Chains A and B, each alone.
Chain A
Amino acid sequence: DVKVTQSSRYLVKRTGEKVFLECVQDMDHENMFWYRQDPGLGLRLIYFSYDVKMKEKGDIPEGYSVSREKKERFSLILESASTNQTSMYLCASSPGQGPYGYTFGSGTRLTVV
């Protein structure tokens, strides 16, 4: 089974801090994604990557950046955390082209105080 591992399950950070959320997958998947999920808003795509050192903005990239230096690792960076970034963050990966579903990590529940 594909495993997608997110570094922290729960995280509490202060406003203005730089926050790193790490995601690692172990099945050599080309595609990796970062979503946030909020009640009533569903899953919203922040950034995604189809290859190493490649990144594309999703629907809500403002206030975030990403890094993909190695194929297995996709990091989400909150440059200066704000309270409206309190959310559940979900990383996902999938193989390249084809009708394959995403595999999600278990999520990081981030609270910014």
Chain B
Amino acid sequence: RKEVEQDPGPFNVPEGATVAFNCTYSNSASQSFFWYRQDCRKEPKLLMSVYSSGNEDGRFTAQLNRASQYISLLIRDSKLSDSATYLCVVNLGNYGQNFVFGPGTRLSVLP
């Protein structure tokens, strides 16, 4: 089983739609969690950290369920500029950091 798994995508949604991405991880000792976005032929950029209580940043909401080892990202009122690949990232590290990246889910927001 892969350490971090994501919905394969691609997700093609109309502008204004709400879209949700799911991610599962296998290591119950995982320490921290993130969502990154990566535009075509660019580097990944941190979108948001994911906290146990759930957190929101504008149109983006991240949820973590440690019991089910599950992370989600919800995007409301999607914009054309949200088109990108979204990477789920899990930190296995105790000392320092040991990030494991999911394969990513591609989102295309259509006019």
Contacts and interface: CB of A to CB of B under 8 A. Distances in A.
Interface of A: 30-31, 33, 42-43, 45, 50, 90, 94, 96-97, 99-107, 109
5 contacts: A31-B96, A31-B97, A99-B49, A100-B97, A101-B36
Given A103-B46, A104-B45, 19 more contacts: A30-B96, A33-B99, A42-B102, A42-B104, A43-B87, A45-B99, A90-B43, A97-B93, A97-B95, A97-B97, A99-B32, A100-B97, A101-B36, A102-B44, A102-B46, A102-B99, A104-B43, A104-B44, A105-B43
B27 interface: no
Interface of B: 31-32, 34, 36, 41-46, 49, 87, 89, 91, 93, 95-97, 99, 101-104
A43 B96 contact: no
A105 to B, nearest CB: 6
Contacts of B46: 101-103
A99 B91 CA distance: 8
Nearest to A41: B103
A98 to B, nearest CB: 8
A97 B45 CA distance: 20
Q: Find the residue from A90, A101, A102, A107 having the highest chain B CB count within 10 A.
A: A101
